[in-house]
Amino acid sequence: MRHTRLVSLVAVTALMSFAASAAAAVSGAAPPKGQTPLLITNAGQGPGAKMARLLLQRTGAVSDFDYNAEPQPADLAAKPYKTLMVVLGSTAKGLGASGITIDDEIARLNAMMAEAKKLKLQIVCVLLEGKTRRGKPGGADERCIDAVAPFAHALVVKKDGNEDGRFDAIAKKTGAPLTFIDDAVDFGDVVKAMYAK
């Protein structure tokens, strides 16, 4: 019988081996060169942006960054941000926790993206949770993609979130480089590449 061991040494070894193998799990276009200060946010109030923040913190590659779950246009100008990282994904629990509807969220995103364009921020659009945060046309997840992805300067997508080729089509239309990750944890390597010195 093989038991699952909750031993720290094994854990560290597993994480290290995971990190080592993760390089092969990033494919497609090379990740864009990231700038700072960086603002991380989400589209749809899903957990993806917090996951991205967690992975980013663990890499130690960026220190000058902020996280804001619901930035308003004025928040984008509150600091001289250079890069806006928007992580896609909507959840009913997340929207409920924020006390807003998906219509409110889309209106906020439209205003935020307009301000980001005005401020000439680099926009990196991320689908960290893949097909988990894809849905039927017109659904909350798809509306979030519509609100952000066509305006992004770079796209980072978990591979199974592009099974229908939707992000291929957006990248082809906008010219944005499209980087794929096999698993969410591989995003740490994307961040390292973005902020390599």
Partner 1 sequence: MSRVRGERQAGPAAERAARGLLARRLGLLAAAIALMVAGSRDIRALRADRETVVVSEALTRRVPLSTYFDGIRGTLMDTPVFLFDSGVPGGSVLILAGTHAYEPASPVMAYVVMENIAVTKGRVFVIPRANPSASRLGMLGNAYPPFFRVKTPWGEKRYRIGDRETHPLEQWPDPFTFVHYPSRQNLAYQDSRNMNRTFPGRPDGNLTERASYAVSELIRRERIDMTIDVHEASMGYPVVSTYVCHERAEDMCMMAAMVLSAEQFPMKTETSPKSLRGLTHREVGDYTQSFAVLMETPEPFIDKFVGPMTEELMLTGRDEFMQTAADRGLLYADYDIKTGATLDYRVGRHLAGAAEVIRQMGEFHPEKRIEASWPGYADIMKHGVGFYLHDPAKADARRVFVN
Least Å distance between CB 109 and partner 1? 20
Nearer to partner 1, 37 or 47 (CB): 47
Least Å distance between CB 154 and partner 1? 21
DSSP annotation string for 98-143: HT--HHHHHHHHHHHHHHHHHTT-EEEEEETTGGGG--STTSHHHH
Least Å distance between CB 60 and partner 1? 15
Least Å distance between CB 45 and partner 1? 10
Least Å distance between CB 69 and partner 1? 10
Nearer to partner 1, 7 or 20 (CB): 7
Q: Which positions ≥6 away from 186 have C-beta within 8 Å?
A: 22, 25, 26
Nearer to partner 1, 34 or 130 (CB): 130
The CA-atom distances, in angstroms, between 55 and each of 32, 184, 187 are: 17, 9, 7
Nearer to partner 1, 156 or 176 (CB): 156
The CA-atom distances, in angstroms, between 130 and each of 20, 81, 113, 124, 181 are: 22, 27, 22, 16, 9
Which amino acid appears at position 60 of this protein? Answer: G
Interacting residues with partner 1 (CB under 8 A): 1-8, 11, 15, 18, 47, 50-51, 54-55, 91-94, 96-97, 99, 129, 132, 135-136, 182-186
Nearer to partner 1, 24 or 78 (CB): 24
The packing angle between helices 8-22 and 187-194, to 10°, is 60
